[in-house]
Structure 1
Amino acid sequence: MAVPYYNSTVSKPAIADDAPSGGDLTAHHVKDKHGETIKFQNPHPSFGETLRLTAFAMGRKMIWTRLMGDMKDPDISSVKIPTVKPTFLAPGGGLPTSLRATWLGHACYFVEFPSGLRVLFDPVFEDRCSPLTWFGPKRFTPPPCAPADIPAIDAVVISHSHYDHLSHTSVSEIASRHPGAQFFVPLGLKSWFRESGIERVTEMDWWEDAELLLKRGKAAAEDPNVEKRTSDSVAAKVSCLPCQHSSGRTHNDRDHTLWASWAVSSGGKSVWFGGDTGYRAVPRVEEGADDYGPEYEALPRCPQFAQIGKLRGPFDLGLIPIGAYKPRWIMSGMHADPRDAVEIFKDTRCKKAMGIHWGTWILTSEDVEEPPKKLMEALKKAGIPEKGVFDVCAAGESREF
């Protein structure tokens, strides 16, 4: 087993002083008659009613939608999402002077902070995002690297339990190769990690903060095979924040664990990771109709993103989902489309952003190359430059902020 370069400690998560006031911070908890939390829910009308159906009813509705021809798999026969071999900062090469973010496909990003902190978000390197190796959504864009190619990982942040965001194989390999890595997960997931043999897990609720402190270990300092970083210690704040989604890994555990967005700040730089989220549920509209038009302007928007922006922003970088949104009348409550993503970008007060949650697996019915095109249209409508503010990049490509 590799020697961890840093020994990490994490403070006990606690509701921050700057959490929203005047409301119930546990409104997303569903409690039994004894007051015990038994599952979770989206507390705002912006989630919509379609997604509040039982798993069976939701599955029946989606099957009917497919039979009626309203939910077809897109053609990927000629699709090629740009991919490059990633480069990571060389061990011992000094600290980065800026925030450095590398897209590793779908929602997975590797972020290197000026402090020396290295954080991996939602790592899934497998061919299929499914409980089965032979069935389920299959990658049409291969991962640009393997976990073994990443030189150091200090923290792993998980947004929720769906298979395209949480992989047993990936997190197990990461924990084995990087034994000092600390995993941050939403409520209810700690037991899954412990059962997977991963002990360094911090479980958090919305609006809780934890302080992560990394100090260089003596064993690592004396081991010539361990990478040498400039900084002897690193401090970071990790915040679990709301989003609008769902969870589940089997037919009978829907919403038994929490979903979350996250903020990480260290070395004077901050990142907001949207993970997977919706923004506003929209009804069924005619093909080509603008669901942000005057007729739909009054539809409820999720207020949590404006709270995040007001209380925790601004952020140097937002990692914001832009894909898996059609049919809109089914998916909009839990999956943002590019227009939603731009509104989330504004609400959360991100200075710059990169699009995630696209270009990897067929999860819904929009053309897989459509999200970046729709993102540019949404930016133009919002009066935001189409390049250089909220972008997408090749899988494996790094950007600095």
Structure 2
Amino acid sequence: MASSAITILYALSISAPPVSSYPDDAGKKEHHVHGGFKNPWDSWRTIGFGDMWRLASRQLNGHANKPDTTPPTVPVRKPEFLPSRETSKLRATWLGHACYYVEFPSGLRVLFDPVFEDRCSPVSWLGPKRFTEMPCEVRDLPVIDAVVISHNHYDHLSYPTIKEIAKTHPNCHFFAPLGNKQWFTSSGIHNITELDWWDQRDISLSPSHESKVEVGNSTGSPPSSATDIEARISCLPCQHTSNRGIFDRSKTLWASWSIESGGQNVYFAGDTGYRAVPDLPIGTDDYAPEFNFPSCPAFKQVGEFRGPFDLGLIPIGAYDPRWFMSPMHADPHDAVRIFQDTKCRKALGMHWGTWVLTEEDVLEPPQKLREALKRHEIPEDGVFDVCDIGESREFE
């Protein structure tokens, strides 16, 4: 490595902080149901068998749009990660879809929803295939202190990727919503903490010369230039669902997350919808004054109790057809409202440009994002942006 600071082993320990404030309704745990979880808001609509049949029929009868993935689409560049833990600015690198690598000025390094496979699928030979290349491999990441998982869908939680991270970065600790710990432990990974909505944990990384992998083990005499790294991670609500098979729908929880470290606060929205929109004629503006569909109240609560945020990582893709996808996937107009509700100062888009999961054209999300920003009189550049895959952006 280019700097001795990056080669120092940081032993990680986790503790429960003093109870922070949270919404009055959070203690009711209305998202808990027998054997699983639910979205407890009017903004949610459960997708039924009839909806899925209708969606499949669109493919069979030729009514579905088939996005053109012929290159060029989204530019891909080789990431340039920092050679050490030293940086004066918050830095985020988009690695495709919902995966971001975030470098905090405190020295903390966090990887969100990593999937480094060609297909997001239970098998390597079937399922959605990347139309943009992976910008790097797991081995190219200089250090990973924490991996944060939003939920267990295959485009957000990948067994081969998680196993490779655990092997390459054995001191890395994994964070996931309730119900996901068993998946990790059955995969041979025990550096895992699962949390419920509004739960928090404090993270402390202490520098050590010793090559220990046990969580909380710290020995040796670190150089005087190496200091402890402190952070607080919060598991927060969002509107989605979960499953990895046919019979496990909503058995594990989904979540958004925040991480605060060194005076910088980052919000990761994960995979989420904002409001359930019914079937409307093509081209209908579902935010027109005559429509008043309920929006998810959790985002304003996140902004009030955990915001404001220096940076939001917010999904903008996989939304068409709207009548099917809107309960669980935000479109760019929803994304701007999530940005505002959560009190993010800046944001970067994600959940697009990697796999064809839905019917919108592959370059449509950033176009619609610009329209949404203009509608809300938000500058189109420098506030809520998109970037190339592999590109890093810095924030004060």
Q: 2: CA distance between counterparts of 1:109 and 1:90?
A: 18
Q: Deviations over 1:360-386 (max 9, x none)?
A: 000000001000010001000011001
Aligned pair in 2 of structure 1 residues 171, 5: CA closer, same or farther (>3 Å)? same
8 Å CA contact 2:120, 2:155 repeated in 1? yes
Whether the 8 Å CA contact 1:6–1:220 is kept in 2: the answer is no
Q: CA deviation at 1:57?
A: 4.4
Q: 1:79 to 1:397 in 2, by over 3 A?
A: same
Alignment of 1:1-400 (within 5 A): 5-12=9-16, 16-22=19-25, 24-31=27-34, 38-49=35-46, 51=47, 53=48, 56-91=49-84, 95-219=86-210, 230-296=225-291, 298-400=292-394
How far 1:95 sits from its partner (Å)? 1.4
Alpha-carbon distance in structure 2 between the residues aligned to 1:152 and 1:11: 22
Q: Give the length in aligned residue pairs.
A: 381
Counterpart secondary structure, 2:43: helix
Post-superposition CA distance 1:344-397 (Å, at most 9, x none): 000000000000000000000000100001000100001100111000000110
Distance 1:71 1:212 in 2: 46
- 1:71 Cα deviation from its structure 2 partner: 2.7
Q: Which amino acid is 2:272 matched to? A: T
Shift of 1:113: 0.3
Residues 160, 186 of structure 1: 8 Å contact kept: yes
Spell out, residue by residue over 1:259-312, the C-alpha distance to the aligned partner (whole angstroms, 9 max, x if none).
00000010110100011000011111111110101221x210000000000111
> Matches of 2:27 and 2:362 in 1, distance apart?
39
TM-score, with normalisation over the residues of structure 1? 0.91
Is the 1:116–1:231 Cα contact (8 Å) retained in structure 2? Answer: no
Per the alignment, do residues 381 and 154 of structure 1 end up closer, same or farther by CA in structure 2, a change over 3 Å counting?
A: same
Q: Distance in 1 between the 2:121 and 2:17 partners?
A: 31
> Segments of 4+ in structure 1 off by > 4 A?
227-230
- Deviations, residues 84-114 of structure 1 (Å, cap 9, x unaligned): 11011103xx511010000000000000001
Deviation track 1:39-79 (CA, whole Å, cap 9, x = no partner) reads: 11110010124x2x2xx444323212333444332111244
Counterpart of 1:35 in structure 2 is none
Question: Equivalent residue of 1:315, what SS?
Answer: coil
Q: Determine the C-alpha separation between the residues in 1 that align with 2:12 and 2:244.
A: 30
**Percentage of identical aligned residues:** 56
Which whole-Å CA distance do the structure 1 matches of 2:262 and 2:173 have between them? 18
Distance in 2 separating the partners of 1:4 and 1:326: 46
